[in-house]
């Protein structure tokens, strides 16, 4: 039976992710799946649908941003301390296409006091980088999951 701190942090991260996902209507609507979760880390995936395209017929920047931003949210809330984004930036090295299976991997670059910085890389099924996202988070009072 696991009782080490390391395992408990991982279990907590998983519990937080499950509870966040349950009330995450946005992710359900967009078909976003959680493929991996760890303290300070999240990996999500999303299939590009026709309604996610912009008027140029390419993936809408708001959609790749939303996928990256969601991965960021799961990563920065994984310690069960409420965290919100204070700002983000995104670069689009390549265009996403209809039918692409996108993966967003969020890793923690820095966490000190209430402030965190997370880098998210969005790639397609060929490993091509579709977006590079950097998010800045701030912890607010309260926990995501009560009395875990």
**Does 109 contact its own copies by CB under 8 A?**
yes
**Does 85 contact its own copies by CB under 8 A?**
yes
CA separation for the pair 120, 98 (Å, rounded): 21
CA separation for the pair 78, 83 (Å, rounded): 9
The structure tokens listed for 41 are 């880390």
| Residue choice 29, 126, 141, 146 for contact with its own copies (CB under 8 A) | 29
Tell me the three state secondary structure of residue 123.
strand
CA separation for the pair 46, 37 (Å, rounded): 16
| Residue choice 15, 38, 95, 107 for contact with its own copies (CB under 8 A) | 95
Instruction: State the Cα angle at 131 between 116 and 28, rounded to 5°.
Output: 80
Nearer to its own copies (CB atom), residue 43 or residue 66: 66
Kindly report the backbone phi and psi dihedral angles of residue 142, in degrees, each rounded to the nearest multiple of 5, phi listed first.
Answer: 100, 165
Q: How far is the CB of 108 from its own copies (least distance, A)?
A: 12
Q: How many residues in the shown chain lie near its own copies by CB under 8 A?
A: 48
- The residues in 31-60 that bind its own copies, with binding defined as CB under 8 A, are 50-56, 58, 60
The structure tokens listed for 88 are 């983000």
CA separation for the pair 92, 89 (Å, rounded): 10
| Residue choice 31, 35, 62, 97 for contact with its own copies (CB under 8 A) | 62
**Does 124 contact its own copies by CB under 8 A?**
no
Note the residues at the interface with its own copies (CB under 8 A): 19-20, 23-26, 29, 50-56, 58, 60-63, 65-66, 69-70, 73, 82, 84-95, 109-110, 112, 115, 117, 119, 129, 132, 134, 136, 144
């Amino acid at each position: 039976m696991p009782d080490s701190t390391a395992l408990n942090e991982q279990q907590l991260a998983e519990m937080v992710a499950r509870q966040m996902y349950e009330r995450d209507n946005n992710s359900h609507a967009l078909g976003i799946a959680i493929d991996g979760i760890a303290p300070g880390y999240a990996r999500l995936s999303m299939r590009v649908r026709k309604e996610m395209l912009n008027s140029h017929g390419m993936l809408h920047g708001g959609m790749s941003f939303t996928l990256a931003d969601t991965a960021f949210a799961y990563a920065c809330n994984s310690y069960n301390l409420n965290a919100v984004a204070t700002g983000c930036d995104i670069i689009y090295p390549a265009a996403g296409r209809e039918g692409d299976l996108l993966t967003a991997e969020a890793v923690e670059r820095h966490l000190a006091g209430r402030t965190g910085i997370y880098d998210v890389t969005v790639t397609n099924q060929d490993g091509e980088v579709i977006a590079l996202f950097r998010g800045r988070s701030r912890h607010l009072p309260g926990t995501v999951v009560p009395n875990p």
